[in-house]
Amino acid sequence: MKKQAFNPYLPSWEYIPDGEPYVFGDRVYVYGSHDFYNGWVFCLGDYVCWSAPINDLSDWRYEGVIYPKTADPFNRDGHMCLYAPDVTVGPDGRYYLYYVLDKVSVVSVAVCDTPAGKYEFLGYVHYPDGTLLGNRKGDEPQFDPAVITEGDVTYLYTGFCGRGDRSRSGAQATVLDKDMLTVIGEPVIIAPGCMYSSGTGFEGHAFFEAPSIRKRGDTYYFVYSSEVMHELCYATSKEPRSGFEYGGVIVSNCDIGIGGYKPKEKPSAYGANNHGSIIEINGDWYIFYHRHTNGTWYSRQGCAEKISFTADGKIPQVEITSCGLNGGPLSGSGEYPAYIVSNLMSGVSGPYVGDPRIPKVVQDGSDGEECVGYLANISDGCIAGFKYFDIRGVKELGVTVRGYMHGAFEVKTSPDGEALGEIKVESANIWQKFTAPVRIPDGVSALWLCYKGGGNIHLKSFEFIC
């Protein structure tokens, strides 16, 4: 690769959650919704696309706006947001973009001749009599469309099931004709929401939102966000609209379910909702998901981790890291931006963002400005984890910080491990680097920075000095 690949995989000033990755030709394209930095609701932006060569997942290219929110006839004034989209190649070889606006419950479709060109509005998914799917009496509202095309038919998966709402049953699967718009197979429920999960095998991980569909061999993998929101789960079947059985959790954006470096059910990051999918790229499989920044729900960034399959097709849960698309650990030398943090904890416990006291990833400037992110709200007891590095011959570690402070960062390779060095820091009005000797053993390990002391710190970067 031209350079190393980090999480988030796009620049730190870009906010593309709900990522649906696809390989078209020799590039991988990611389609998602578009949050703003410091946005006040989800998905305020137009659809944009990023792509990378399949043999260099560090080299992402901005493809530009592929579809503005005002292109939909229901939204000429732009008062509605574009929620999570999906893309499929139709029987005619063209690319079809499916989406739902935030204040209606019907599915819109746009089309383009190329993966990342200018999509043009095509129409709304409808029954043969012209009634829009989602508007007919008895229809459940449409939300978060996912699509897969096989031959002349396209399978459309939709749904949202909030806790306590018995009017929504679960994830729906609908069949569309080769025109990509007309329903020829009416909606059926393939995975239950939490109000209907008792006795199904989905208990505790029932369908909430974010349907996504992929096929591996002869097996369909239905990926979705569960009732606890922070995790992406999956269910499998040999048929596209029946027989789905719960498979497990693929990833949690607060690492609940991952043990080893912490108790399994303890969160080690502040997460919230999740959305993404699995994809094979150049022989390896990955899960794409998103994390939350700025201490809110509304500024989300895309991340990815490598996954594996067992002999019987199961996907073991993977931990969140700083090096997801890198193909291995990062180099244990040089300087790294602090925004690639994978785990961030403090004395304010809980798996969800929102508390103003929690540490968080932020940036200077406003949305769209190319300002590198950093960590803020670092106070006594905060701990930041970065995983993983191939460390060889490191003698010192440096941190670049600013803020009113008087304390030290303990350097560790596990959150509860012994301190392998201590970097004392003092108040600075501009970014200032502080260094100290460390005793980090050679090998692949995580880096944990644990702050002890007073004040409120901004952490811009850290540096391995050999």
- One domain for residues 417 and 283: no
Beta bridge partners of 331: 390
- One domain for residues 355 and 233: no
Token output for 96: 């079809």
What CATH code is carried by the domain that includes residue 441? 2.60.120.260
CA distances from 143 to 85, 91, 100, 147, 217 (A): 10, 24, 6, 12, 28
**Cis bond before residue 8 (omega within 30° of 0):** yes
Is residue 396 domain-resident?
Answer: yes
User: Which residue range is the domain that position 274 belongs to?
Assistant: 20-307
- Considering the entire predicted model, what is its pTM? 0.97
| Helix (H) or strand (E) segment spanning residue 231 | strand 231-237
Instruction: Show the CA angle centred on residue 211, arms to residues 206 and 214, nearest 5°.
Output: 115
Pick the last residue of a domain from 307, 339, 374.
307
Quote the CA–CA distance of 30 and 106 in Å, as a whole number: 23
Is residue 279 domain-resident?
Answer: yes
pLDDT in the model for residue 176: 98
- One domain for residues 344 and 294: no
- One domain for residues 292 and 432: no
Classify residue 226 as exposed, middle or buried by CB count within 10 Å of its CB (0-12, 13-18, 19+). Answer: buried
Below-70 pLDDT ranges, the chain: none
- One domain for residues 283 and 334: no
pLDDT in the model for residue 88: 98
Catalytic residue among 20, 72, 86, 209: 209
Is residue 9 domain-resident?
Answer: no
pLDDT in the model for residue 223: 99
- One domain for residues 190 and 67: yes
Name the 3-class secondary structure at 338.
helix
Is residue 407 domain-resident?
Answer: yes
- One domain for residues 295 and 402: no
- One domain for residues 301 and 337: no
Question: Residues with Cβ < 8 Å from 94, sequence gap 6 or more?
Answer: 111, 112, 113
Is residue 35 domain-resident?
Answer: yes
If one counts every other C-beta atom within 10 angstroms of the C-beta of residue 70, the result is 13
Catalytic residue among 18, 140, 231, 319: 18
Beta bridge partners of 155: 148, 175
pLDDT in the model for residue 349: 83
Is residue 8 domain-resident?
Answer: no
Query: Is 209 a known active-site residue?
Result: yes
Quote the CA–CA distance of 286 and 251 in Å, as a whole number: 11
Is residue 374 domain-resident?
Answer: yes
- One domain for residues 347 and 401: yes
- One domain for residues 282 and 139: yes
- One domain for residues 283 and 351: no
CA distances from 351 to 257, 306, 430 (A): 12, 23, 32
Number of domains in the chain: 2
- One domain for residues 248 and 365: no
Closest CA relative to residue 303, chosen from 327, 268, 274, 328: 274
pLDDT in the model for residue 463: 98
Classify residue 151 as exposed, middle or buried by CB count within 10 Å of its CB (0-12, 13-18, 19+). Answer: exposed
Pick the last residue of a domain from 307, 341, 361.
307
